[in-house]
Structure 1
């Protein structure tokens, strides 16, 4: 090869007459070592030169296989849509839900990594990250038991998770939850009436009784009542304080930064069904709620929970 030959001539030129004479000591082994190193490295260089070509060809092969798979999948979906429309609706809903769930998991992983890197608690997150983390935890409580039984023929149970709801199901399920919320209002107001009778001063007692008599009925928090009393109190307090932290993050963000969908979701979480209200009315109600929430302390969580009932009823009830 030319390069080892040039290196040999350079080595002879550096060594001078000592290299041209008979072997003396360790000079010639050094020259042999230099030549062998060039001979060993040259195949490695040729392999490195060929490796980009191989990587490009492998990427092209993967892209071709992926394109063929997408075409086959598109033909399969068209066949399902034409031949089995009801099954195709379930299939497309399941596929879209899996994609949404995968993106949600990626986003939660990003939030968790940021929390770990900056040593943040969930209460220190921005509003959108805090709300996403809160909603993911609630979904996780549903998806774990459902995922265990979500094998054919029980795959329909996956529709209970919000990622797998169709737009029509979203409207239907939220309306059903709202009806359940309103159905639990009588017990809430009866408890308020009993508390009012226990007040020693007659004037505050009369005002509270009038306030309770003017309100309609609804349930505020989506918590199961089938728990022991101490566990239910703990969950209720934890849920209300979580909303209180969200309120402070929302106040820092500003209501003007919320989209209409985020605005209505925030109202719904705090007890107001906004389907019959305009965007300006939702914003005005949420401003009223934030003023109350940010003035209360953590020890006043019970007052904040009952305020959900009273403030939601002040806005009126959606049509049945």
Structure 2
């Protein structure tokens, strides 16, 4: 930034002054002017000295502020970098939204799907701060206040890497409290199932979850019929308290059209899972992998990368083999694959 300011100052300076500062010879074919007098030479030296001191001051200005006001400069950088990142994501989000309006979500990459899912939440959180800061002298109040409460008043664009992990863990902890009510609903409905092999297989899965283990992929696929649209655990067969706990487990509000929003969330997660399979789990960065685990109900903090890759691989194998009639299965995967995860229990009871 400082270099750009200096460059503009130099190019806007008079031609004679630039030649004086840089020692550039005259490139025109006109006769050279007569030698300068002592007063003209003195004036040139004064101008050169003044300009050089000004350039030195501009170069040192940011460093001086950093030394004298380190806290203020840190806040300044947080908001400058955050607003720049927010603006770039907003432009990208608008392009993605236009594509979805014309063509649906087909053809979008994984990061574009995640941006379309996350950006509206960030916009709602940051909008009050940006609107209030536009009022006269309001930025002197709202920016320090937002810096004091970044989790509530700012988005991920303004957070540090550690804050992103910490705030995501706090949000996941609130969601995980709904796992036990969902498991209780699944256990209570066991008596409503018809006698047969399917009921026995489901009882075996409930026993594994109750004893601290998880069913394997084959066991989950064998009972996928229970999650069909009109079956006991399908979208149309869920009890009201079961459905409400699922809404809270996936971090959604308790307002209108809960069943429709649950179905749309399952479809979105399935599309993200398909793109993860296409791009490869191992091609994801650590931050992307952590975000994917937080979204799907697994606490990735202090978990080895190999274990995260294996868990996401299991999830995507089930999700990619689930059709529109069994979307409820995707919504229950945080229970079937994550209820007894040690990192989740540490997060809940630390």
Equivalent pairs counted in the alignment come to: 254
Residue of structure 2 equivalent to 1:221 = 250
Is 2:68 the counterpart of 1:83? Answer: yes
Which entry has the higher C-alpha Rg, 1 or 2?
1
Residue of structure 1 equivalent to 2:105 = 122
| Deviation for aligned residue 1:294 | 0.8
Q: Given the superposition, is the C-alpha separation of residues 100 and 210 from structure 1 closer, same or farther in structure 2, using an over 3 Å criterion?
A: same
Partners of 1:310 and 1:247 in 2: CA distance: 17
Residue of structure 1 equivalent to 2:336 = 310
Q: Given the superposition, is the C-alpha separation of residues 147 and 70 from structure 1 closer, same or farther in structure 2, using an over 3 Å criterion?
A: farther
CA contact 1:197–1:205 (8 Å) conserved in 2: no
Normalised TM-score (structure 1): 0.67
Partners of 1:126 and 1:165 in 2: CA distance: 24
Correspondence for 2:90 among 68, 93, 105? 105
Residue of structure 1 equivalent to 2:266 = 240
Runs of 4 or more consecutive aligned structure 1 residues displaced over 4 Å after TM superposition: 60-65, 69-77, 109-113
| Deviation for aligned residue 1:211 | 3.8
| Deviation for aligned residue 1:288 | 0.5
Residue of structure 1 equivalent to 2:4 = none
Normalized per residue, the structure richer in helix is 1
Which structure has more RCO (C-alpha within 8 Å, separation ≥ 6)?
Answer: 2
Tell me the SS of whatever aligns to 2:339. Answer: helix
Q: Given the superposition, is the C-alpha separation of residues 303 and 212 from structure 1 closer, same or farther in structure 2, using an over 3 Å criterion?
A: same
Structure 2: gaps (5+ residues): 1-6, 13-53, 214-245
Q: Given the superposition, is the C-alpha separation of residues 235 and 146 from structure 1 closer, same or farther in structure 2, using an over 3 Å criterion?
A: farther
Normalised TM-score (structure 2): 0.62
Partners of 2:333 and 2:107 in 1: CA distance: 25
| Deviation for aligned residue 1:205 | 5.4
Structure 1: gaps (5+ residues): 1-59
| Deviation for aligned residue 1:163 | 0.5
Residue of structure 1 equivalent to 2:142 = 154
Show the 5 A alignment for 1:54-203: 61=8, 64=11, 77-109=62-94, 111=96, 115=99, 120-150=103-133, 151-152=138-139, 153-155=141-143, 156-157=145-146, 159=150, 160-201=154-195, 203=200
Tell me the SS of whatever aligns to 1:123. Answer: coil
Q: Given the superposition, is the C-alpha separation of residues 82 and 124 from structure 1 closer, same or farther in structure 2, using an over 3 Å criterion?
A: same
Partners of 2:178 and 2:55 in 1: CA distance: 50
CA contact 1:143–1:161 (8 Å) conserved in 2: yes
Q: Given the superposition, is the C-alpha separation of residues 232 and 166 from structure 1 closer, same or farther in structure 2, using an over 3 Å criterion?
A: same
Residue of structure 1 equivalent to 2:25 = none
Partners of 1:96 and 1:76 in 2: CA distance: 19
